[in-house]
Amino acid sequence: MTEYIERIGEQVKSSVAGETYTAYVPKPLPPSPSIEMDKIYPYLDQASLALGRLDGLSIILPDPSLFLYMYIRKEAVLSSQIEGTQSSLSDLLLYENQEIQGVPDQDVVEVSNYVAAIEHGLERIKNGFPLSLRLIREMHEILLSKGRGSSKQPGEFRRSQNWIGGTRPGNAKFVPPPPERLMETLDALEKFLHDETIKLPTLVKAALAHHQFETIHPFLDGNGRLGRLLITFILCVDGIMEQPMLYLSLYFKTHRQQYYDHLQLVRDTGDWEEWLQFFLKGVVETANELLSNLVYAH
């Protein structure tokens, strides 16, 4: 672990209900000083190779749409399970085919919303709409349109303080930017996504953007699910993947504590390189596992 003081964000004092707390405002991307690429090149090379093989095989699938139909739903189940839902893939398929009797379980409604949000985003991007704050809000509105999240301002960036862990900002494990600093961090993230003068490998860009989104935590609910989707969408928009086939939810779920520890390590020390190594290992692991499944199916 290396400490990069210049990369660490701003600690901001704020208060709610008479209690003072400290929130974290991240510095804009890309990190400065720049990423030490020599520390991540071995991981990046492996990840790029695995992703290239996966993308190549996906192009020659006899029916990629059928595979994607099931794979997107599997991802929706896994990503939602990270947030605490208990629905299975079979529950989702039964619900979508209207074979669940009575009032559907709230969990399966949430997973179905997630599928709809993914499909909406992919369709918009395929039609040339930019990966933007507007598109993220559109997807968020669909994600929380029905079920438990419908009271959490669907499609709207938060106007109040949220926190991670604990019962209030004062005893939380992590407190994202206060509402009055939210838009500056989001605008900077959107600028990073579209700044063609920034010469970074797309996988590195996706890893940085995912981390920044999770740190900003712009919504009252649904941040984790949308942040994980952001990775896949960046890879598709930048042309690294022909088909939206790489989702890291299973890797993040399997290595959940490491994932949270790496997120926090960047905030505490500015060490982006360790986060990037962890992320790129996940790309290799996920792509190779999916590749094996595709070869077997083919």
Give the CATH number of the domain where residue 266 resides. 1.10.3290.10
pLDDT-derived band at 35 (thresholds 50, 70, 90) equals very high
More confident residue, 86 or 226: 226
Give yes or no for residue 266 having a pLDDT over 60. yes
pLDDT-derived band at 100 (thresholds 50, 70, 90) equals low
Position 143 scores a pLDDT of 93
Confirm or deny that 114 is annotated as ligand binding: no
- What digits encode the pLDDT tens for the residues 66-99? 888 888 888 888 888 888 888 888 888 888 887 6
- What mean pLDDT do residues 267-271 have? 97
Residue-number span of the structural domain to which 277 is assigned:
5-297
CA distances from 6 to 131, 186, 294 (A): 29, 20, 44
pLDDT-derived band at 222 (thresholds 50, 70, 90) equals very high
CA distance 36 to 205: 14
Position 64 scores a pLDDT of 76
CA distances from 132 to 23, 105, 232 (A): 25, 32, 14
pLDDT-derived band at 142 (thresholds 50, 70, 90) equals very high
8 Å CB contact between 252 and 225 = no
Confirm or deny that 55 is annotated as ligand binding: no
Comparing CA positions, the residue from 161, 170, 274 lying closest to residue 220 is: 161
More confident residue, 185 or 243: 185
Give yes or no for residue 214 having a pLDDT over 80. yes
Alpha helices in the chain (DSSP H): 41-59, 64-82, 89-96, 106-126, 133-143, 179-194, 202-216, 223-237, 249-254, 256-269, 272-297
CA 52 centroid distance within chain: 21
Cis ω before 30 (30° cut-off from 0): yes
- What digits encode the pLDDT tens for the residues 250-263? 999 999 999 999 99
Number of domains in the chain: 1
Query: DSSP readout, 9-30?
Result: -EEEEEEETTEEEEEEEPPPSS
pLDDT-derived band at 207 (thresholds 50, 70, 90) equals very high
Give yes or no for residue 285 having a pLDDT over 80. yes
Confirm or deny that 238 is annotated as ligand binding: no
Over its C-alpha atoms, the chain yields an Rg (Å, rounded) of 19
Confirm or deny that 84 is annotated as ligand binding: no
Give yes or no for residue 103 having a pLDDT over 50. no
Which range in 53-67, 94-108, 253-267 is most confidently predicted, on average pLDDT?
Answer: 253-267
Give yes or no for residue 202 having a pLDDT over 80. yes
Confirm or deny that 221 is annotated as ligand binding: yes
Give yes or no for residue 36 having a pLDDT over 90. yes
Confirm or deny that 222 is annotated as ligand binding: yes
Sign for the CA dihedral angle at 208, 115, 133, 196 comes to positive
Position 78 scores a pLDDT of 87
- What mean pLDDT do residues 14-26 have? 93
Q: What is the 3-state secondary structure (H, E, C) of 228-284?
A: HHHHHHHHHHCCCCCCCCCCCHHHHHHCHHHHHHHHHHHHHHCCHHHHHHHHHHHHH
Give yes or no for residue 59 having a pLDDT over 70. yes
Backbone φ and ψ for 283, nearest 5 degrees, come out as -65, -45
CA distance 73 to 111: 8
CA 100 centroid distance within chain: 30
Write down the pTM of the prediction: 0.93
Comparing CA positions, the residue from 24, 96, 76 lying closest to residue 222 is: 76
- What mean pLDDT do residues 147-163 have? 86
Average pLDDT score, the chain: 91
Return all residues near 124 (Cβ < 8 A) that are at least 6 apart: 135, 138
- What mean pLDDT do residues 177-181 have? 97
- What mean pLDDT do residues 204-226 have? 97
CA distance 206 to 285: 17
Amino acid at 251: Y
Confirm or deny that 259 is annotated as ligand binding: yes
Sign for the CA dihedral angle at 298, 66, 108, 118 comes to positive
Position 163 scores a pLDDT of 96
8-state DSSP, 170: G
Q: Catalytic site residues? A: 217
